[in-house]
Structure 1
């Protein structure tokens, strides 16, 4: 299983950060276009809540579309939320999003645990492709968030 940690300080209020990140409609904005990310849930609302199911189509590798379903399992307003994969491309996916007021802005932290399926073959594909792609997605998010909110 992989454990990845990303952090970024944004010069915005906690209210502004929470309003943006807790709205599932904003996920597409912070995902690279080549991922072909589309929210397919009939209702995803303006604000996430514990128990919410969000369905997507995503093209993580080689442009092959995959269905992905996550559940928002925990929400503590203006502190953190957790999304967990219910079905999709990973054998395991647990992603914590944390927000802390710091130095007149917000420290945003992502703690991601994931595992690729297919045992040893999956581990090899993870080392060769998947881990690099996941890191690329988070680098893209960092860039887009800096452009949108400043750094």
Structure 2
């Protein structure tokens, strides 16, 4: 199984407390995901729900027009105001391990996403990653940069 890695950094002009409050709320993920993916959190959480180790989050997502999928992740690690990790338990990937790191910097927060993922189906999965999946993931993270700038401003 071939594993792929992506790393993204973004500086955000908000306090560490504000960053943690926003990104540790599962419902806010939909606010920074492209609308064409029809991303919906289906877990029964409220806007006040904060993540914790062991938390299961379920979603519906449409990675391609006309294709709808269920996805389940577990928050496996949380160190408040430093990092959290979500791992897929059910969904489209053979492996999904996504780290979210937060570091206070002058005038804001540096947020770093580190993603390790693998596609099932051996050579077909490698081809799918080259043709579509890798590009789509980059598009999603590029969109997030713009969405976060729209919500919090730009440094």
- TM-score range (shorter-chain normalised) is over 0.9
Give the structure 2 partner of residue 71 of structure 1: 74
Indicate whether 1:38 and 2:40 are aligned: yes
Indicate whether 1:139 and 2:142 are aligned: yes
SS in structure 1 opposite 2:143?
helix
Aligned-residue CA RMSD (Å): 1.0
State which of 91, 94, 97 in structure 2 corresponds to 1:91.
94
Shift of 1:46: 1.9
Equivalent residue pairs, number: 151
Q: Structure 1 runs of 4+ off > 4 angstroms?
A: none
Unaligned runs of 5+ in 1: none
Contact kept? 2:27, 2:45, Cα under 8 Å: no
CA separation in 2, counterparts of 1:110 and 1:4? 8
Which aligned pairs between 1:118-133 and structure 2 lie closer than 5 A? Answer: 118-133=121-136
CA separation in 2, counterparts of 1:63 and 1:33? 14
Indicate whether 1:15 and 2:23 are aligned: no
Give the structure 1 partner of residue 119 of structure 2: 116
Shift of 1:17: 0.2
CA separation in 2, counterparts of 1:130 and 1:61? 10
Give the structure 1 partner of residue 153 of structure 2: 150
Shift of 1:103: 1.5
State which of 54, 58, 77 in structure 1 corresponds to 2:57.
54
Contact kept? 1:35, 1:63, Cα under 8 Å: no
CA separation in 1, counterparts of 2:142 and 2:135? 10
CA separation in 1, counterparts of 2:21 and 2:66? 31
- TM-score, length-scaled by structure 1: 0.97
Shift of 1:41: 1.0
CA separation in 1, counterparts of 2:50 and 2:87? 17
SS in structure 1 opposite 2:75?
strand
